[in-house]
Amino acid sequence: MCGIIGYCGDKAARPILLDGLKRLEYRGYDSAGLAVADQGKLAVVRAVGKVSDLEKKGIARPLPGHFGIAHTRWATHGRPSEENAHPHCDCRMEIAIVHNGIIENYLDLKEELLAKGHAFRSETDSEVIAHLIEESYDGDLEKAMLRAVQRLEGTFGIAAIHAGSDRQVVIVRRGSPIIIGIGNNEFFAASDAGALLPYTQKVISLNDDEMAVLHPAGYHIKNLNNEFLQKEIEIRETRDDLADKKGYEHFMLKEIFEQPEAIENAFRGRLIENEGVSKLGGLEPVLERLKNVKKLVIVSCGTSYYAGLCGRYIFESLSELHVEVDVASEFRYRKLKMDANTAVLALSQSGETADTIAAIREAKRKGALILGVVNVVGSAIAQITDAGVYNHAGPEYGVASTKIYTSQLVVLTLMALLIGRYQGLSFTEGSALIQAIKKLPRQVKKILTDIEHIKKIAQEYAQYKDFLFIGRQLNYPTAMEGALKLKEISYIHAEGYPAGEMKHGPISLIDENFPTVAVVSQDSTFDKMLSNIQEIKARNGRVLAVASEGSSRIADACDDVIWVPETLPLLQPVLNIVPLQLFAYFIARSKGCDIDKPRNLAKAVTVE
Give the shortest CB-401-to-ligand AGP separation in angstroms.
4
Q: In this structure, are residues 516 and 468 in contact, taking their beta carbons and an 8 Å threshold?
A: yes
482 sits near ligand AGP (criterion: CB under 6 A): no
134 sits near ligand AGP (criterion: CB under 6 A): no
Q: Which contiguous run of DSSP H or E holds residue 269?
A: none
581 sits near ligand AGP (criterion: CB under 6 A): no
Which member of 172, 400, 474, 593 binds ligand AGP (CB under 6 A)? Answer: 400
The interface region with ligand AGP, picked from 106-114, 301-309, 316-324, 584-592 by CB under 6 A, is: 301-309
Nearer to ligand AGP (CB atom), residue 391 or residue 525: 391
Bridging pattern class, strands 218-223 and 67-73: unpaired
Nearer to ligand AGP (CB atom), residue 342 or residue 401: 401
Q: Which contiguous run of DSSP H or E holds residue 425?
A: none
**Helices in 394-474 by DSSP H: which ranges?**
403-422, 427-448, 451-461
Nearer to ligand AGP (CB atom), residue 259 or residue 401: 401
Give the shortest CB-351-to-ligand AGP separation in angstroms.
7
Q: How many CA atoms lie within 13 A of 101 on its CB side?
A: 25
- For 309-326, give the secondary structure using H, E and C: HHHHHHHHHHCCCEEEEE
The interface region with ligand AGP, picked from 144-152, 242-250, 397-405, 550-558 by CB under 6 A, is: 397-405
Supply the angle between the helices 403-422 and 572-590 in degrees, to the nearest 10: 170
Give the shortest CB-14-to-ligand AGP separation in angstroms.
31
Bridging pattern class, strands 466-471 and 493-498: parallel
348 sits near ligand AGP (criterion: CB under 6 A): yes
Q: Which contiguous run of DSSP H or E holds residue 277?
A: strand 277-278
570 sits near ligand AGP (criterion: CB under 6 A): no
Q: How far is residue 289 from each of residues 294, 320, 344, 382, measured CA to CA in Å?
A: 10, 15, 13, 19
The interface region with ligand AGP, picked from 145-153, 261-269, 298-306, 511-519 by CB under 6 A, is: 298-306
349 sits near ligand AGP (criterion: CB under 6 A): yes
124 sits near ligand AGP (criterion: CB under 6 A): no
Identity of the residue numbered 125: D
Q: How far apart are CA 71 and CA 264, in angstroms?
A: 36
Nearer to ligand AGP (CB atom), residue 398 or residue 430: 398
Bridging pattern class, strands 342-348 and 369-374: parallel
Identity of the residue numbered 344: V
Q: How far apart are CA 416 and CA 545, in angstroms?
A: 29
Which member of 3, 9, 175, 302 binds ligand AGP (CB under 6 A)? Answer: 302
Which member of 580, 605, 606, 607 binds ligand AGP (CB under 6 A)? Answer: 605
304 sits near ligand AGP (criterion: CB under 6 A): yes
Q: How far apart are CA 33 and CA 494, in angstroms?
A: 35
Give the shortest CB-595-to-ligand AGP separation in angstroms.
12
The interface region with ligand AGP, picked from 228-236, 349-357, 456-464, 546-554 by CB under 6 A, is: 349-357
Q: Which residues pair with 319 in a beta bridge?
A: none
Q: How far apart are CA 14 and CA 426, in angstroms?
A: 61
Nearer to ligand AGP (CB atom), residue 300 or residue 551: 300
Give the shortest CB-577-to-ligand AGP separation in angstroms.
11
Which member of 488, 495, 566, 596 binds ligand AGP (CB under 6 A)? Answer: 488
Give the shortest CB-461-to-ligand AGP separation in angstroms.
20
Q: How far is residue 595 from each of residues 80, 93, 260, 324, measured CA to CA in Å?
A: 20, 38, 21, 33
Which member of 122, 265, 319, 353 binds ligand AGP (CB under 6 A)? Answer: 353
Give the shortest CB-286-to-ligand AGP separation in angstroms.
22
Residues 6 or more apart in contact with residue 99 via CB below 8 angstroms: 2, 4, 71, 86, 88, 126, 129, 156, 157, 158
**Catalytic: which of 110, 485, 597, 603?**
603
Nearer to ligand AGP (CB atom), residue 25 or residue 488: 488
Q: Which residues pair with 188 in a beta bridge?
A: 7, 181
Does a cis peptide bond (omega within 30 degrees of 0) precede residue 87? yes
Q: How many residues at the interface with ligand AGP, by CB under 6 A?
A: 15
Give the shortest CB-555-to-ligand AGP separation in angstroms.
31
Q: How far apart are CA 127 and CA 278, in angstroms?
A: 51
603 is catalytic: yes
**C-beta neighbour count of 493 within 10 angstroms:** 14
Identity of the residue numbered 269: G
Which member of 401, 475, 516, 532 binds ligand AGP (CB under 6 A)? Answer: 401
Which member of 100, 317, 319, 356 binds ligand AGP (CB under 6 A)? Answer: 356
Q: How far apart are CA 437 and CA 172, in angstroms?
A: 44
407 sits near ligand AGP (criterion: CB under 6 A): no
Classify residue 534 by burial, with Cβ atoms within 10 Å: 0-12, 13-18, 19+: exposed
Nearer to ligand AGP (CB atom), residue 210 or residue 488: 488
Q: In this structure, are residues 181 and 222 in contact, taking their beta carbons and an 8 Å threshold?
A: no
Residue nearest to ligand AGP (CB): 302
Nearer to ligand AGP (CB atom), residue 343 or residue 595: 595
350 sits near ligand AGP (criterion: CB under 6 A): yes
326 sits near ligand AGP (criterion: CB under 6 A): no
Q: How far apart are CA 248 and CA 476, in angstroms?
A: 30
Give the shortest CB-304-to-ligand AGP separation in angstroms.
4
Nearer to ligand AGP (CB atom), residue 200 or residue 353: 353
310 is catalytic: no
Give the shortest CB-356-to-ligand AGP separation in angstroms.
5
Q: Which contiguous run of DSSP H or E holds residue 523?
A: none
Residues 6 or more apart in contact with residue 60 via CB below 8 angstroms: none
Give the shortest CB-66-to-ligand AGP separation in angstroms.
35
606 sits near ligand AGP (criterion: CB under 6 A): no
Nearer to ligand AGP (CB atom), residue 144 or residue 309: 309
Catalytically active residues are 2, 603
Contacts with ligand AGP, residue ranges (CB under 6 A): 301-304, 348-350, 353, 356, 399-401, 488, 601, 605
